[in-house]
Amino acid sequence: MRFFAAAADAAGTDTATARVERDVSVADAAAQAGGDGHELNQVLSISSYLVGGLRESGQKRLADLTDLTDLTIDVLPPFAGG
């Protein structure tokens, strides 16, 4: 998991690794990896996600992805001015 900008601030880190169940959503996996705090959950609700380099909905289930081996999820909150 890679957190950028406000997501990194809310998670307290810019990278995290987590083992999660296949039936969770991309956003839930990010929340678990980042510590599942209230501030992080607020940021995650407005973030965009890149999963393996492809844009995906935060509601996409990990079980619906074809390959979870060494999967990287990027959490991209809205950026000011761009």
Structure tokens at 50: 């890149």
What's the farthest any 2 CA atoms get from each other in the chain?
36
Helix (H) or strand (E) holding 54: strand 54-56
Cβ neighbours around 13 below 10 Å, total:
15
Mean pLDDT of 13-32: 92
Sorted by where each starts, the structural domains of the chain and their CATH numbers stand as 2-76 (3.10.20.30)
Q: Between these two residues, 36 and 14, which has the higher pLDDT value?
A: 14
Alpha carbon distance 52, 24 (integer Å): 16
Does position 27 have pLDDT exceeding 90, yes or no? yes
pTM here is 0.88
Looking at residue 81, its pLDDT comes to: 54
Confidence of residue 29 (pLDDT cuts 50, 70, 90): very high
Quick one: which of 51, 58, 42, 54 has its CA closest to 7?
A: 42
